[in-house]
Amino acid sequence: MAEPYSGAASAASAAEPSSSSNEPDSSKLQYLEQKYGSKAAHVHLSQPEVNAMVDKVLRDSPTVQYLLSSLQMGGCGVGRPFFHVTRCADDVGGGFSTDYGVILCHNKLSTYKEVELAVAHELIHAYDFCRASNLDLTNCHHHACTEIRAANLSGDCSFYQEFVRGNLSEAMVGQHKRCVRRRALLSVSLNPHCQGGKAEQAVSDMMKHCLRDTDPFPRVPGM
């Protein structure tokens, strides 16, 4: 992306190690596959497909529309040219750069829902840069906070997304919080300034405060 971490290189749709031991039981798995389709059925989208989905997301997604309105009210309004669809080498579904805007990786995205979540995730980063002029992603604690917020507020840790990743467990209490921590750590660990245990420490330090910070939403959407 842009120069030294001028944007949030986030793992909005990052691949994770397989967690087959956490698969739901067969009856629950059958229900989920009937409702959402099997994981094996998910294939990566083309650039034109993702561009069309971005248009629909910007028009129809309540979460994304709320974020766009909040950016506008904060003096940081963005339009369609802010969103770019490209092919990416890194195993992430998207990213945010203060230089370029929201970047979506069509070869890492498989469904409309993933596109919607990636757009929301990156717009939360954009909102954080809008509201905090001193946000510095070379500071691991700053980076951890915006990643915690993006994972918490975008829908990235929904029941279905965790099913697709194979990260559901029988202990459903606390599942959302565990997901937020894991997803934030996955992103911050990509930061070259946060190696050698710094990412894990920063996420641990910031979880309590940044999990409570739902701005601009009154509460976590969908919960």
Of residues 77, 70, 68, 91, the one with CA closest to residue 12: 91
Task: Give the C-alpha distances (Å, rounded to integers) separating 93 from 82, 159, 209.
Answer: 16, 19, 26
Give CA 159 to chain center in angstroms. 14
Cα distance between residue 163 and residue 31, in whole Å: 11
3-state secondary structure 16-47: CCCCHHHCCCHHHHHHHHHHHCCHHHCCCCCH
Judge whether 98 and 7 are in contact, CB under 8 Å. Answer: yes
Q: For position 30, what pLDDT does the model report?
A: 53
What is the reported pLDDT for 179? 93
pLDDT, residue 169, reads 67
| Tokens 């691949």 sit on residue | 15
User: 116, 122, 147, 162: which is the annotated catalytic residue?
Assistant: 122
User: In this predicted structure, what is the pLDDT of residue 16?
Assistant: 62
The reply to whether 122 belongs to the active site is yes
Residue 27's pLDDT is 56
Residue corresponding to tokens 């989920």:
32
Count CB neighbours of 21 within 10 A. Answer: 7
- List per-block mean pLDDT (blocks of 10 residues) for the chain, which spans 223 residues: 38 48 52 47 84 98 98 97 92 84 94 94 98 95 98 90 72 82 95 96 98 97 79
